[in-house]
Amino acid sequence: MIIELREFTRVEGNGKAEIVIEDGEVKDVRLKIIEGPRFFELLTLGRHYYDVPDLEARICAICYLSHSVASVLGIERAFGVEVPEEIALIRELGLIGELLESHALHLYLLVAPDVFGYPDAIRMATKHGELVKEGLALKAFGNRIRVMVGGREIHGINVKPGGFGRYPTVEELERVEKESEALLRLARRAVRLFAQLDPYGAQAKHFVATDGYLWGEKLVSDEEGAFHYTERIEERSLVYSFAKQSLYKGEIFFVGALPRLLLKSEMLTPAAKRLFEEHREKLETGYVSYNNLAQAIELVYSLERANEIAKTLLDRGIEGENVPVEPREGEGIGYVEAPRGVLIHHYRIDANGNVAYSNIITPTALNHAMMEASLLEEARKLYGEAEERAMIGRLEETVRAFDPCISCSVHLVKL
Amino acid sequence: MMDKLKLGVFELTDCGGCALNILFLYEKLFDLLEFYEITEFHMATSLSEENHYDVALVTGTVSTQRDLNLLKEARNHSEYLIALGTCATHGSVQGSVELPIREKLKAVYGDDGNPMRALDSKPVVEYVAVDFALPGCPYDKNEVYQVLMDIAKGIEPVRKDYPVCLECKLNEYECVLVKKGLPCLGPITYGGCNAACIRSGLGCIGCRGPLPGEVNPASEYEILKDLGYDDEYIIRKFKTFARWEP
């Protein structure tokens, strides 16, 4: 017998799951990504490098800037271009804006209704309007940073190889400095709220993240130092899903906010670090539901870090000079932490500056196997014990804990 | 008090941005909710209770049999259907990959055939009649707000009829095509984005698709040729969001 779950709600994109029951027991769970394929690597093939980041941004609306930055990093590494600290800091600020926007959307509008027992945030707002407003305030702040750095709330075009179309102004940075401080109180409250979640889903055995907090030269894992994805991560196609599955050294692993905190807690800002220590025991159990608690702690981190970056840039002043980019034959990989985990853009570029090979691996694809393992764990726990509706509700919450971005997951290619 | 209009949001294959953009309306979303009740919007709510919609917003391309079924359901059960965003109106980026579906799938997933029933990505407007088409990758959120408010008040929404250049001039931005020689599709692209790319000092990438009517793509083509861009580059640029033949 197969129990087919309806399409997931309150996630980005289209997906569903099937629970396979044999002899009265849960035998298997299949996570089916039914969003149509989008063929981004084919789209970018043969394109001039300069246009590629704008196209790659379209992979995902919630994390377009992570895609732009990963794309730009891959292209710059292929050409051997290095950017000065100013440009790196502004990019980081953009990624922080995205983390705030995405985490606030996820936690307040998509997860909080589960905590309070409502079908959505709009209906939750009748009784918990203040909370919804707080979430929207954080989200709007994140989006303002995205507009400042990326050029638009969705699919901005401002992040370019070698720099930006337009640089932030002093007024804009002063506003970031002020608002990031004012909003910190709300983020602390979010940590208290999401610390109350039950442990559910599978317990991760392996964690993977980039070596810097929001981007890196390479990846790191819980058992070893820096490595390139090609050395440890393998992808495989599935007959029932448009997204591929990835394994780390042949095993299931987890990317996202929880892995970031656990692998890179020493990089956290002061208040975020204190909150991490306070909840460390819980987080270290590795239950996927604590990913939401980790996201809330990252709201605090993001606001503190945005404040630091704005201050630094204001102190040193903005020069607004792009680094000249000379195309040459080369290969480069961009590693970024999208809000929902590791994102990889890998390009080979020919002597004319056109893309000759491209491979993109998104966090949702990296987490695909971990999501299935979590669904299986929950289904086994609940099948025959809980009512079917309650079981399905919990399974949906389990998938939601990953903050999966299904649109992003459907265009993986090896050419 | 009049009954609220039933609003459904249907997401086919896309990046999620057109649905997300509705949530980005913030307090204006609550203004809309004075007139509308959202009864289908799976990114935002777990509720799904109606099978009749006064207004249906459909985002994304038809890229699978599932998308096609969902589109037909939306069309059959709605009074007023809006194709929302460039995927729905023109096919956008995924619609511009021109290989046959079998070859595309083979390149990505290997030789396992087509078990998930993928189709070539096509815009919504190629499958059903729509009552309004609002392009943009993404569309301007204030535009969708205006369109929904117009409908709620019984006014037929107005389609814009000017290129990006007009909004660029109104903002007094420097012309990047003439002054900087950047490839800018502003002169032939459907306005409504408030010249977002030119605000950043960059050229318009044409994400709202071609402006219908009195535009002159041939002249744009010549300008770009004169600036030194080769044929293939220009044609690709023209085709990226709208499969537009120059």
Parallel/antiparallel/unpaired status of strands B36-41 and B5-11: parallel
Q: Give the pLDDT confidence score for residue A176 in this predicted structure.
A: 98
In whole angstroms, how far apart are CA A122 and each of A107, A154, A239, B141?
14, 22, 37, 19
Question: What's the alpha-carbon Rg for chain B, to the nearest Å?
Answer: 19
Contacts of range B28-31, beta carbons closer than 8 Å, 24 or more positions apart: B28/B141, B28/B142, B28/B145, B31/B145
Nearest CA in chain A to B87: A58
Enter the ipTM.
0.92
Using the beta-carbon criterion (under 8 Å), do B107 and A42 form an inter-chain contact?
yes
- Of B32, B45, B10, B40, the closest CA to residue A118 belongs to B45
Q: Give the pLDDT confidence score for residue A149 in this predicted structure.
A: 98
- Determine the Cα–Cα distance for residues A137 and A119; give it in Å rounded to an integer: 21
Contact B23/A at CB under 8 A: yes
Nearest CA in chain B to A142: B24
Q: What is the residue whose two structure tokens read 């993109």?
A: A360
Per-residue pLDDT of chain A (415 residues; tens, 9 = 90+): 888 887 787 777 777 888 899 998 999 988 887 778 888 888 899 999 999 999 999 999 889 999 999 999 999 999 999 999 999 999 999 999 999 999 999 999 989 998 898 888 888 988 998 999 999 999 999 999 999 999 999 999 999 999 999 999 999 999 999 999 999 999 999 999 999 988 999 999 999 999 999 999 999 999 989 999 999 999 887 777 777 789 999 999 999 999 999 999 999 999 999 999 999 999 999 999 999 999 999 999 999 999 999 999 999 999 999 999 999 999 999 999 999 999 999 999 999 999 999 999 999 889 999 999 999 999 999 988 888 888 888 888 898 899 887 766 654 433 3
Are the CB atoms for B64 and A36 separated by under 8 Å?
Answer: yes
Q: Which residues of B are less than 8 Å from A55 in CB distance?
A: 93, 240
Tell me the domains of chain A and their CATH numbers. Answer: 41-369 (1.10.645.10)
Cβ of B245: how many Cβ atoms within 10 Å?
Answer: 9
Q: Give the pLDDT confidence score for residue B1 in this predicted structure.
A: 54
Instruction: Point out the residue among A61, A120, A244 whose CB comes nearest to the CB of B46.
Output: A120
Tell me the domains of chain B and their CATH numbers. Answer: 5-153 (3.40.50.700), 164-240 (no CATH)
Instruction: Point out the residue among B64, B94, B115 whose CB comes nearest to the CB of A239.
Output: B115
**Of the ranges A76-90, B164-178, B203-217, B220-234, which one carries the lowest mean pLDDT score?**
B203-217
Q: Give the pLDDT confidence score for residue A410 in this predicted structure.
A: 54
- Determine the Cα–Cα distance for residues A61 and A80; give it in Å rounded to an integer: 29
SS3 content of chain B, % helix, strand, coil (to 5): 40, 20, 40
Cα of B219 to nearest chain A Cα, Å: 22
Cβ of A119: how many Cβ atoms within 10 Å?
Answer: 17
- Determine the Cα–Cα distance for residues A163 and A90; give it in Å rounded to an integer: 9
How many secondary structure helices (H) and strands (E) does chain B include?
12, 7
Pull the structure tokens for residue B69: 């079924």
Count of all residues that appear for chain B in the document: 246
Best mutation target among A122, A235, A355 (most B Cβ atoms within 10 Å) is A122
Instruction: Point out the residue among B11, B201, B207 whose CB comes nearest to the CB of A166.
Output: B201
Q: Give the pLDDT confidence score for residue B44 in this predicted structure.
A: 78
Cα of A203 to nearest chain B Cα, Å: 26
Sign of the dihedral through C-alpha B226, B231, B234, B235: positive
pTM for the whole thing? 0.94
Report the DSSP beta bridge partners of residue A209.
A220
The kind and range of the H/E element at A135 are: helix A121-150
Using the beta-carbon criterion (under 8 Å), do B112 and A237 form an inter-chain contact?
yes
Q: Which residues of A are less than 8 Å from B17 in CB distance?
A: 58, 60-62, 64, 154-155
- Determine the Cα–Cα distance for residues B84 and B74; give it in Å rounded to an integer: 13
Contact B54/A at CB under 8 A: no
Torsion of CA A36, A56, A40, A73, to 10 degrees: -130
- Determine the Cα–Cα distance for residues B246 and B237; give it in Å rounded to an integer: 10
Residue B103, Cβ density class (10 Å: 0-12 exposed, 13-18 middle, ≥19 buried): exposed
Best mutation target among A39, A101, A114 (most B Cβ atoms within 10 Å) is A39
Q: Give the pLDDT confidence score for residue B111 in this predicted structure.
A: 65
- Determine the Cα–Cα distance for residues A178 and A306; give it in Å rounded to an integer: 10
